[in-house]
Chains A and B, each alone.
Chain A
Amino acid sequence: MFSIERWHEIFEGLAKNKLRTFLTGVSVASGIFILVILLGAGKGIQNGIQNQFEQDATNRISIWPGVTQKEHNGLGIGRRIQLRNTDYEIATILLEDYIEYKSAIYSVWSGNIVYKKETGTYRVEGVHPDYQFIENASIANGRFINQSDINNYEKNVIIGQKVANDLFKNQEDPLGAELNVSGVIYKVVGVYTDPGGEREESRVFIPITTAQRAYSAGDRIRSMAFTLNKGVDFDQAVEESLDFTQKLENLLKTRHNIAPDDQGALYVNNSLEEAKNVYIITGGVQAFFWFVGICTIIAGVVGVGNIMLIIVKERTKEIGIRKALGASPFSIISMILQEAVFITVVAGFLGLLSGLLVWEVIGPFVEADFFTRPEVDFNVAISTLVILVMAGALAGFFPAYRAAKIKPIVALRGD
């Protein structure tokens, strides 16, 4: 059935009709090429969006105080709430089961930092050792704050990569250098990087105890941040984090005499909920690109079907001649289909390869805020190609079948 003779006949037909072969091939190849480019771009955008939200741990919960908006227990409106060390300590003890990492924060807004002749203004945050994981920061050099820094009120500072780049020119090693932070001298013990980029890296961290003492804060803290133990699945994680947030809020509201329904006295940021939105957005982006991709495939299939129709029409007379000379309907159908499948496979594969090649070559150079690491799942691309080929064959089958059914005299008459 699939003899070398038939392939020979088909190759001859293709080779002698170069323009037709070329045009069919180009339309199929460009369809697949566009699809690969689209899928790559979609993946790039998805990666980009995810990158933007990876700056903090995805299950981070922060809580910071505001001003009361409701009277409660005889206390008036407009009372400023102040969190203290004891709030943090009690919260961490009572809600221990939920917590993975924890840190209180005492931040000094816009600390003026001086190293030799270089100077700059950066956020200074007094934090606990766990804060590194809450911030999703990685240590590029040295170490982060440790418990002994906290216990001994050490004047050690961990600086962001951006800060290090700004203050330490000429490849100077920042480790061990002495920085003047708002009038107090600290020793640099670590440099960190943060997936959130420069904005997140232009901060410095000092032990919270040191911060409270050096800047006369007593036992006051600005906020608290936690990450929670990971749940079994995403939905459970969201549920547990809401649970935790509720308990934490209730605890602090009781301790600070805040009305249970006061919206302004405590602010909670639950990044897991945010993450959920991100997943929804990226899911939407992906769905959109799939939609466009599927439309492209449909257009490709229609295109291939259309080309098949034209080819069959153009070859009606040839088919008539072949039938008069003894070609069976089956041999006509299989000839047309084999030609079509052969062209779509070869051209589709070329389109696939060139699309992949484009992303391979230009992909690493395309970097923007919401666009990184464009890539194409090879399996997806291959299965699209298979679908296109099968659909093309199906689309070609009907005109081929009809052509094979035409009586040879009718086919011969038409010219």
Chain B
Amino acid sequence: MIEIKDLHKSYQMGKNSLHVLKGIDFSVKEGELVSIMGASGSGKSTLLNIIGILDEADSGTYFLDGVPIKNLNETIASQYRNKFLGFVFQSFNLINYKSALDNVALPLYYQGMGRKERMERSMHYLEKVGLADWAKHLPNELSGGQKQRVAIARALASNPKVLLADEPTGALDSKTSYEVMELIQQINDEGKTVLIVTHETDIANMTKRIVYLKDGQIESDKLVNQIRASQYV
């Protein structure tokens, strides 16, 4: 699903160039649930942004579902994001003047789907994350956990190949974190490929594979025995 070879990325910080990713070789197969861990500044978020076509690598190759991701213009990039990827952010990034339902429907709007079908599909995903009753509420009327579940529903709505989550539990207490992880595990059980960036070991242990990043390089990459989040809930 994801094929990355010798990926480099540096940022220009004033006069200094900050080399963030120093040759990453990384691949993910369909149906995997992978967590990327590392200290802050290790380059884990940068890697996720490049995988999410939110950022572009300086060199190296990246294939997403067999499609080379290289030198895309913004219009194509946005189409790929819409088709291939679903995003979950630490700070939820819901549009605060839109109801939960409308937020979930937004990627479908950009797919050009008709209003009626869009709303039905969004409602289905809200039901899936257990928030059907909250469909008409604005984000600021929802708790953190609920917001993140709306964001997950939104990420799933366009039926992407890969779900990318950047510290999805970073702004949540541990109980809600486990609820969110339970949801993510469910989604993965249904066959969806999921990538999570986190610095919390307990969250990482709920995935099937942990990749450690250190100073822009992969330090270790190992399969783990998944801990089901449901036992904590």
Q: Residues of A at under 8 Å CB distance from B?
A: 5, 8-9, 12-13, 16-17, 317-318, 320-331, 404-405, 407-409, 412, 415
Q: Decide yes or no: A407 and B55 within 8 Å by CB, A5-B109, A326-B110 being known contacts.
A: yes
Chain A residues contacting B78 (CB-CB under 8 Å) are 323, 326-329
**What's the least CB distance linking B49 to chain A, in Å?**
5
- From B89, B107, B114, A326 is in contact (CB under 8 Å) with B107
Whether B93 contacts A326 by the Cβ 8 Å rule is no
CA distance A327 to B107 in the complex (A): 8
- Taking CB atoms and an 8 Å cut-off, the chain B residues in 101-117 that contact chain A are 102, 106-107, 109-112, 114-115
Chain A residues contacting B98 (CB-CB under 8 Å) are 12, 16
CA distance A217 to B232 in the complex (A): 127
Q: Decide yes or no: A412 and B79 within 8 Å by CB, A325-B107, A328-B74 being known contacts.
A: no
CA distance A321 to B115 in the complex (A): 20
Chain A residues contacting B91 (CB-CB under 8 Å) are 415
B54 close to A (CB within 8 Å): yes
**What's the least CB distance linking B119 to chain A, in Å?**
12
Whether B106 contacts A322 by the Cβ 8 Å rule is yes
**What's the least CB distance linking B85 to chain A, in Å?**
8
Interface string of B179-218 (1 = CB under 8 A from A): 0000000000000000000000000000000000000000
CA distance A415 to B154 in the complex (A): 21
CA distance A323 to B77 in the complex (A): 9
Pairs across A and B, CB under 8 Å, 14 listed: A5-B112, A5-B115, A322-B95, A322-B106, A324-B87, A325-B82, A325-B87, A325-B106, A326-B111, A326-B158, A327-B78, A328-B74, A328-B79, A329-B78
Chain B residues contacting A327 (CB-CB under 8 Å) are 78, 110
Size band of the interface chain B makes with A:
20 to 34
Q: Decide yes or no: A326 and B97 within 8 Å by CB, A9-B109, A404-B74 being known contacts.
A: no
Additional pairs, 14, CB under 8 Å, beyond known A9-B109, A412-B54 = A5-B115, A8-B115, A16-B98, A17-B97, A322-B95, A323-B78, A325-B106, A326-B83, A326-B110, A326-B111, A328-B79, A329-B74, A412-B93, A415-B91
**What's the least CB distance linking B95 to chain A, in Å?**
6
Interface string of B29-57 (1 = CB under 8 A from A): 00000000000000000000100101100
Q: Decide yes or no: A405 and B74 within 8 Å by CB, A321-B93, A327-B110 being known contacts.
A: yes
Chain B minimum-CB-distance residue to A315: B95
Q: Residues of B at under 8 Å CB distance from A?
A: 49, 52, 54-55, 74-75, 78-79, 81-83, 87, 89, 91, 93-95, 97-98, 102, 106-107, 109-112, 114-115, 154, 158
Whether B81 contacts A324 by the Cβ 8 Å rule is yes
Whether B74 contacts A325 by the Cβ 8 Å rule is no
Chain A residues contacting B74 (CB-CB under 8 Å) are 323, 328-329, 404-405
CA distance A327 to B55 in the complex (A): 15
Q: Decide yes or no: A330 and B154 within 8 Å by CB, A16-B98, A321-B93, A409-B55 being known contacts.
A: no
**What's the least CB distance linking A326 to chain B, in Å?**
2
CA distance A8 to B55 in the complex (A): 31
Whether B82 contacts A326 by the Cβ 8 Å rule is yes
Chain A residues contacting B97 (CB-CB under 8 Å) are 13, 16-17
**What's the least CB distance linking B183 to chain A, in Å?**
19
Residue in B55, B78, B97, B115 with the greatest tally of chain A CB atoms within 10 Å: B78
Chain B minimum-CB-distance residue to A17: B97
Chain B minimum-CB-distance residue to A318: B95
**What's the least CB distance linking B21 to chain A, in Å?**
14
**What's the least CB distance linking A395 to chain B, in Å?**
23
Whether B75 contacts A330 by the Cβ 8 Å rule is yes
CA distance A87 to B179 in the complex (A): 116
Chain B residues contacting A317 (CB-CB under 8 Å) are 93
CA distance A147 to B106 in the complex (A): 91
Q: Decide yes or no: A324 and B93 within 8 Å by CB, A5-B115, A409-B55 being known contacts.
A: yes
Chain A residues contacting B89 (CB-CB under 8 Å) are 412
Chain B residues contacting A9 (CB-CB under 8 Å) are 109
Q: Decide yes or no: A326 and B55 within 8 Å by CB, A8-B115, A13-B97, A16-B97 being known contacts.
A: no
